[in-house]
Amino acid sequence: MKEIMIATKNPGKVKEFEHIFKPFGVTVKSLFDFPEVEDIEETGTTFEENALLKARSIAQSQNIVVLADDSGLEVDALSGRPGVYSARYAGPGRDDAANIEKVLKELEGIPNQNRGARFVCCLAMAMPTGEEYVVRGTCPGIIATSCTGDEGFGYDPIFYLPELGKTMAQIPKSQKNVLSHRANAFVQLQEILQQLGIKKEA
Ligand code: ITT
């Protein structure tokens, strides 16, 4: 496998995957390199379903190995919301600041011990030949009461990691790439890549 297309238009995700795939010598492309691919509606009710929907449809139409990431934030006190709606929680504008504001408002007055949450990342890899693989990674944390830090993207500024005493937006990319939900899912995907004979370059 020489190249893989990440089925995303989220530049934050593209950057993380470029970093992740570098040791494998696999070139990372994204939907920015395939402007002809139309948006695929995320009609699934689970992260797995949505990731598979995207990967499958693009692998077939573009004849390339595709990795789709469907990810989001699950907040315990909100019964798992925003969940699969994380990107559009505050409405179709997909604005990170508005999404964060909505979560913080809904959690107003809720004490720290009840602000548990997790980031979830499902990765689906689809081959043009029809083989499909899906994995799920998670990363636990606590929703802070305000934003801190400017690394990362999405909900990172309010996602507090108690063991580090920092939010996900206060740690460098290299550290996020080791402990995040995406990193966790990628460890599982790596096992699959290995079984397929795709290994890290020495
Ligand atoms: P694509 O569908 O084009 O991949 P997206 O941003 O719409 O991009 P999702 O549908 O998977 O992606 O929604 C994920 C949302 O969940 C994303 O917009 C963020 O708000 C949040 N999210 C996912 N991973 C995150 C991370 O590592 N840090 C912070 N927020 C994250």
Q: What is the CA radius of gyration of the chain?
A: 17
Instruction: Pick the residue whose CA is nearest to atom 7 on ligand 1.
Output: 87
Confidence of residue 32 (pLDDT cuts 50, 70, 90): very high
Distances (CA, A) of 191 to 32, 67, 176, 180, 187: 28, 15, 20, 17, 7
Distance of CA 140 to the CA centre of its chain: 14
Which of 66, 153, 175, 186 for a ligand 1 pocket mutation test, highest count of atoms within 8 Å of Cβ? 153
- What is the Å distance from ligand 1's center to 183 Cα? 14
The per-residue pLDDT for range 142-190, each reduced to its tens digit, is 999 999 999 999 999 999 999 999 999 999 988 998 999 999 999 999 8
In this prediction the pTM is 0.92
The backbone region for 4, taken as left when phi is positive above 0, alpha when psi lies in -120 to 50, beta otherwise, is: beta
In short, whether 153's Cβ falls inside 6 Å of ligand 1 is yes
φ, ψ dihedrals at 192, nearest 5°: -65, -45
- Of 70, 141, 152, 137, nearest to 103 by C-alpha is 141
Instruction: Pick the residue whose CA is nearest to atom 16 on ligand 1.
Output: 72
Comparison of pLDDT for 24 and 181, the residue scoring more: 181
In short, whether 5's Cβ falls inside 6 Å of ligand 1 is no
Q: Residue range 36-45: average pLDDT?
A: 90
pLDDT of residue 16: 83
Please list the active-site residues: 70
Confidence of residue 94 (pLDDT cuts 50, 70, 90): low
Confidence of residue 24 (pLDDT cuts 50, 70, 90): confident
Which residues make Cβ contacts (< 8 Å) with residue 201, sequence separation at least 6?
A: 23, 24, 25
The per-residue pLDDT for range 119-130, each reduced to its tens digit, is 999 999 999 999
Which residues make Cβ contacts (< 8 Å) with residue 151, sequence separation at least 6?
A: 168, 169, 170, 171, 172, 173, 176
